[in-house]
Amino acid sequence: SKRRQRFTRKKRFFGGATMARPRRLLTVLAAASRASAFDVPFFGFNWKELVIGGAGVDPKDGVLGRVQVKSDPLAVCNDGSPAVYYLKEGDPTLWLVYLEGGGWCYDEQTCTKRAQVSPKMTSSNGYPETVAMDGIFSTDPQRSPIPEATKVFVKYCSSDAHAGDVGKEDGGALGWHFRGKRIVDAVFSELISDWGLGNSPGGTTVVFGGTSAGGRGAMFHLDAVRRRLESSGAAQPSLGPTRGARPRVQVVGVLDSPLWLDMPPLYESLVPMQEQTELIRKLAGIAHPDVLDPACAQAFPPGEQWKCLYGEYRIDFVTTRYALFASSYDSYQLGQLLGHRPSTKAEFLLAEDFAAKTRRKLAELPSKRQRQDSVIYSQACYNHAVSFYEDFYRAKTSDGVSERDCLAKSILRRFADLQQPRRDTGPATIDAGLAEAEAAANESKRRLLRGQGGGQGGGPGGGTRAGEGRGWWVDSCEGGFACGAGCAAKAEDIISRGKSTLAQRWSAINPH
């Protein structure tokens, strides 16, 4: 199309796959992007760093070009400006489509403040022509398991976790537009019609996901996106271990940090996340069955429909294969529960309770209704939403597995094996050690399940099925905010000291 030709000409300037990109040019582009990116602390990390790539831009970062949504005039930001996504063309058989995160607003006060403090989260005005991104968007196979993929980054300017569909013209509250669902739909329409998504004769794999609010949005949309893309292509013979027909387009999810737990905040001055969710459900007109999911809506009474937008409950109804990232000390939710990083013994105890509940919930996944080759990953880290940040390939479980390694070993293994040779050195290589790490992770799950009384768990998923730990990397470390080998070291220290209660464990490591 003419649109694609125009974009290709622009791509040759700012860094397509066919041209070398000078370091100086990348630095200039990064500076332009950095200057216009929003800069809002989200309890434990700086969102500007997350978007741009953290430690600075280099030739290994993926550089994506701006595309304005034109297929649907109602696919707009809160202020009515057109929605925007960023795209870098690559392998036409492999696509990464990622939704940006960044909280939300749920009433007049929070929305007014959001527009004042974070204008780039409510309007596309001033968005840069390019963004440079690390982590899963990187062009370096040491950093991303899919460096050659066609990559799409959907900007977040609807403040509704990509789920709403009500506008100013509909009499929407505050005179705002909440069109997150419509934006996601329009982006996929354009990827199909303008960019050739699904047209590859040999079949196409779409990795659909997001971080934080984008992770929740991807969780809401994942099944509907799979149905839409699978129905758009003919079936073809399966090349996998199960013979038969498979869709021409296959979809897998990467859900980074959507797992909100149903816990009250420690202090009454904080608005509970459950209340926030119900308020935004009403404010943004979140009612479409593609978002709420009919099975989930039927599972809860009218007064509890907010649970279909809440990670702890909604994740059980996702039927598409997925990888779930959920740090046991998720800095965003702990910030929502405490208002700041834990600093007192009572706050540390809440953090430890949160971590224990996270592990118990993860032990129930994947549930019996879900794809059993879905993947669960949790570090004992105080972080949140790092999949296009350097911690995607640097932060690791106590078994030495990063989020990048997790994907390369599981749902994206066949792509990683093709695009990266096995090596013996490097911070995030795929080698024989990962098989040992996987076995150790499975044993950790079995130990955890035995500690729950023979492997029987609650929730919609039924039993937790001890011994079925495939694709399950969850740190069982207690003692707080420890990543990688530090987790194992702290756990060993706790055991050697004979500390048995949560308070004693925290006192041994974090005296206050």
Q: Are 160 and 286 in contact, with CB atoms under 8 Å apart?
A: yes
Phi, psi torsion values for 133, nearest 5 degrees: -135, 145
Digit-coded pLDDT (tens) for 144-160 = 999 999 999 999 999 99
Compute the residue count for the chain: 512
pLDDT of residue 448: 52
Specify the DSSP element, H or E, that contains 458: none
Q: Place 459 in a pLDDT band, splitting at 50, 70 and 90.
A: very low
Q: Are 146 and 96 in contact, with CB atoms under 8 Å apart?
A: yes
Instruction: Identify the weakest region by mean pLDDT among 85-94, 182-191, 447-456.
Output: 447-456
Q: Are 102 and 47 in contact, with CB atoms under 8 Å apart?
A: yes
129 pLDDT above the threshold of 50: yes
268 pLDDT above the threshold of 80: yes
65 pLDDT above the threshold of 80: yes
19 pLDDT above the threshold of 80: no
Q: Provide the CB-side half-sphere exposure for 248 (13 A, CA).
A: 14
Q: Among residues 156, 473, 155, which one has the least CA distance to residue 325? A: 473
Task: Report the distance separating Cα 466 and Cα 426, nearest Å.
Answer: 33
Q: Is the dihedral of CA 497, 501, 505, 508 positive or negative?
A: negative
Digit-coded pLDDT (tens) for 304-333 = 999 999 999 999 999 999 999 999 999 999
pLDDT of residue 132: 94
Q: Average pLDDT over the chain, rounded to whole?
A: 77
Span 100-108, average pLDDT: 96
Span 390-414, average pLDDT: 90
User: Which residues face 82 on adjacent strands?
Assistant: 76
Q: Place 260 in a pLDDT band, splitting at 50, 70 and 90.
A: very high
pLDDT of residue 60: 81
pLDDT of residue 374: 94
pLDDT of residue 71: 96
372 pLDDT above the threshold of 50: yes
Instruction: Identify the weakest region by mean pLDDT among 237-246, 252-261, 370-379.
Output: 237-246
Task: Report the distance separating Cα 244 and Cα 246, nearest Å.
Answer: 7
Q: Among residues 280, 351, 358, which one has the least CA distance to residue 315? A: 358
Span 343-357, average pLDDT: 92
Span 368-395, average pLDDT: 92
Instruction: Identify the weakest region by mean pLDDT among 300-304, 433-437, 485-489.
Output: 433-437
pLDDT of residue 479: 52
482 pLDDT above the threshold of 70: no
14 pLDDT above the threshold of 50: no
Instruction: Identify the weakest region by mean pLDDT among 104-118, 164-178, 201-215, 465-479.
Output: 465-479
234 pLDDT above the threshold of 50: no
pLDDT of residue 10: 39
Task: Report the distance separating Cα 399 and Cα 441, nearest Å.
Answer: 7
Span 360-374, average pLDDT: 92
70 pLDDT above the threshold of 80: yes
Q: Are 359 and 327 in contact, with CB atoms under 8 Å apart?
A: no
pLDDT of residue 498: 43
